[in-house]
Amino acid sequence: MDGTKRSSIHSSDEKATGYPEEEKHTSNVYYEGEETVESIDKKSYDRHLDTTNELSGADVVEYNYDIQKTDDQDDEDKPSWFSKIYQRFRKFFLIAMWLIFTGFLSAAFALQVPKGYNQENLILGLIYAWHTIYVFFCFVPTTVVTKPWMFLVRTAYAPIRGFSSTTRSLMYGALVVTAIVVTVFSLPETEQSSRVQRLIAFVGMIFFVISSFASSTNHRAVNWNTVCGALLLQFLLALFVFRSSAGHDIFNWISNFAKGYLGKASEGAAFLVGADIVAKGFFAISVFPAVIFFAATVQILYYIGALQWILAKSAPLFVGLLDISGCEAIVAVASPFLGQSENVLLIKPFLAHLTDAEIHQVMTSGFSTISGSVLYGYLAMGVDGTALISSCVMSIPCSIAISKLRYPEVEEPLTKGKVRVPKSEEKLEGIVHAAGVGAATGIQIVLLIAANLIALLALLYAVNAGLTWIGNFITIQNLTLQLITGYILVPVAWLIGADNKDLVNVGQLIATKLWANEFVAYQDMMAIVKQGGLSQRSISVTTYALCGFSNLGSIGMQVGVLTALAPKKARKIANLAVSAMICGAISTFVSASIAGMLF
């Protein structure tokens, strides 16, 4: 076919703005005389196979992004006997499961609702609603929703169609800023959240965005539609958590569930070292078993296909809304679950073919969040779980926005408009085997955490000892690296919305996180909290600001993993590492600023 090539998300004319053209959808919809993205991407994919031969034989499940398709593509492997039976009687199976679920829900609500509201009833109702919608669309095509929706989008967009792409981008940005300002300042004031404090946090968010743009490698290439869309999505997530009782309850339930589930690891630890030692609450005894247990859980989820399903369903949302590549979306969504080292394994077959902007985005996603494997460690310290989990979710769009400001895309990614989730390369023989493999991975993570803590803390205390020795000559007592950089970072503490009396403490905590890691910073924060040294507002914004792997030690971890998986990209990975780490830190500061606006 000799037609003109078009993007899988936007036409070439609309790529910078993300607005749909008339009579066309913002998905993979094509017209006569045009090449389809499938054929274009297939040619590009085959070309890479011919020139590098590095993707040959890679076991990959490919998901085409299309809002009018709901069924996953068939697995290339031979289906099992259970799969054959399920596919044959799928409709009857779905109806039976829905009826059973309906009966269970009715009985549960009849018994529990008279007792009053609780979070468990809310979660059960949401799961039932999702299951009902899923079953409904298994029998009814999604076009009954997508067609009217796209008609409304085209109708609403029609009045501004005649404006230039630059004008439309400016209008979109102004709309996002206006929505944030109106929402934030229309909320009633409280003792801990005055409009002046919200204004400071808003100025902080704008400052971090502008500073990221000012340092951009290519100002003209910045896709403001992606940036504005990501910031709006992050703000809406924060608004749902802070100002919605349902949102707060959902994230609070997730936090309690995570703490209770990962806390079961203490039972295994008690069997090995005794309940008395576990009860003493030593860091290694309370945290490391939870890390191993979580790693085993993740491997089980990967074995049964649950993790791939989650990624395949959620990643296309960011591909479509934010116009990023499939690899970027997969890593961004997976980072809060898997962390900065394991997330890149999901795109291992494509690492050698990532563009420079994709590499920067992948690394930024890892630096901007924590992982589920270390979550219990912070919960055990007493850190607010709702803030931690909501920060992880908010980091997904925020890391995309900041990275695309600092290092915008100027090439054509191989997975543009596609979501491809590689299958596990390990041949597992069952759930027990998967749990064992995951536990082995957990041990490696534990050893890595322990080694980094020992080395970095020893180095930090050695440097502090030298600075204290020097300070004694000029009558400066207790001169440390945290003290020096803490004062330097006082403006950052002010911009995220911390109370004025806590600025030095918050600045020093941020400095500790950057020089050592978030483990040490959270530990110091909770020690200050126990002494009454931080207000509730400062605790909240600091929790968000510290929630990420952006520290010097993590640079070595990410560079080591990525260069081992993609040796041909080693020099570029090393060159981008510091920039990505700074962007990851800025992402957490933006999240903290939004928390300061909505606290």
Q: How far apart are CA 39 and CA 45, in angstroms?
A: 10
| Nearest partner of 405 among 583, 537, 524, judged by Cα | 583
Q: How far apart are CA 512 and CA 552, in angstroms?
A: 11
User: Is 213 in contact with 219 (CB distance < 8 Å)?
Assistant: yes
Runs of H (alpha helix) within 12-89: 37-52, 81-88
What is the pLDDT at residue 176? 95
What is the pLDDT at residue 31? 30
Q: What is the pLDDT along the chain (599 residues), one digit of tens a residue?
A: 444 433 333 433 443 444 444 333 333 333 333 333 333 344 444 444 443 444 444 444 444 444 334 444 444 456 667 777 878 888 889 899 999 999 999 999 999 888 888 888 999 999 999 999 999 998 999 899 989 988 998 898 888 888 888 898 899 999 999 999 999 999 999 888 999 999 999 999 999 999 999 999 999 999 999 999 999 999 999 999 999 999 999 999 998 998 899 889 989 999 988 888 888 878 888 888 988 998 899 889 888 888 888 888 888 889 988 999 999 999 999 999 888 877 888 888 888 889 999 999 999 999 999 988 888 889 989 999 999 999 999 999 999 999 999 999 999 998 887 776 766 666 778 888 888 988 988 888 888 888 888 888 898 889 999 999 999 888 888 898 988 999 999 999 999 999 999 999 999 999 999 998 899 999 999 999 999 889 999 999 999 999 999 998 889 888 888 888 888 999 999 999 999 999 999 999 999 999 999 99
Q: Which long-range contacts (CB under 8 A, 24 or more apart) does 34-43 make?
A: 34/1, 34/3, 34/4, 34/5, 34/6, 35/1, 35/3, 35/4, 35/5, 35/6, 37/6, 37/7, 37/8, 37/417, 37/418, 38/64, 39/1, 40/5, 41/8, 41/414, 41/416, 41/417, 41/418
What is the pLDDT at residue 80? 67
What is the pLDDT at residue 226? 95
Residues 6 or more apart whose Cβ sits within 8 Å of residue 231: 176, 209, 397, 398, 401, 590
Provide DSSP, 239-268.
Answer: HHHHS-HHHHHHHHHHHHHHHHHHHTHHHH
User: Is 27 in contact with 66 (CB distance < 8 Å)?
Assistant: yes
Residue 341, both tokens? 């080292």
Ramachandran region, residue 74 (left: φ > 0; alpha: ψ -120 to 50; beta: rest): beta
User: Is 123 in contact with 252 (CB distance < 8 Å)?
Assistant: no
User: Is 520 in contact with 508 (CB distance < 8 Å)?
Assistant: no
User: Is 554 in contact with 340 (CB distance < 8 Å)?
Assistant: yes
Residue 23, both tokens? 């009579």
User: Is 366 in contact with 539 (CB distance < 8 Å)?
Assistant: no
For residue 193, the cross-strand partners are 190
Buried b (16+ CB within 10 A) or exposed e, 171-197: ebbeebbeebeeebeebeeeeebeeeb
| Nearest partner of 241 among 260, 261, 255, 228, judged by Cα | 255
Q: How far apart are CA 174 and CA 180, in angstroms?
A: 10
Provide DSSP, 88-143.
Answer: HTHHHHHHHHHHHHHHHHHHHHHHHGGG---HHHHHHHHHHHHHHHHHHHHHS-TH
Which H/E stretch holds residue 294? Answer: helix 283-304
User: Is 154 in contact with 22 (CB distance < 8 Å)?
Assistant: yes
For residue 422, the cross-strand partners are 60
pTM score of the predicted model: 0.83
For residue 419, the cross-strand partners are 63
In degrees, rounded to 5, the angle at the alpha carbon of residue 40 between the alpha carbons of residues 34 and 45 is 175
DSSP 55: S
Q: How far apart are CA 559 and CA 113, in angstroms?
A: 52
User: Is 242 in contact with 248 (CB distance < 8 Å)?
Assistant: yes
Residue 252, both tokens? 């609070």
Q: How far apart are CA 241 and CA 379, in angstroms?
A: 18
Q: How far apart are CA 14 and CA 25, in angstroms?
A: 12
Within 380-467, strands assigned E span 418-422
User: Is 169 in contact with 224 (CB distance < 8 Å)?
Assistant: yes
Q: How far apart are CA 586 and CA 344, in angstroms?
A: 21
**Taking the chain, what is the end-to-end CA distance rounded to the nearest angstrom?**
56
Residue 483, both tokens? 């003290």
What is the pLDDT at residue 487? 93
What is the pLDDT at residue 403? 97
What is the pLDDT at residue 455? 86
What is the pLDDT at residue 79? 64
Annotated domain spans of the chain: 89-163
Q: How far apart are CA 542 and CA 534, in angstroms?
A: 10
| Amino acid code (one letter) for 450 | A
What is the pLDDT at residue 424? 64
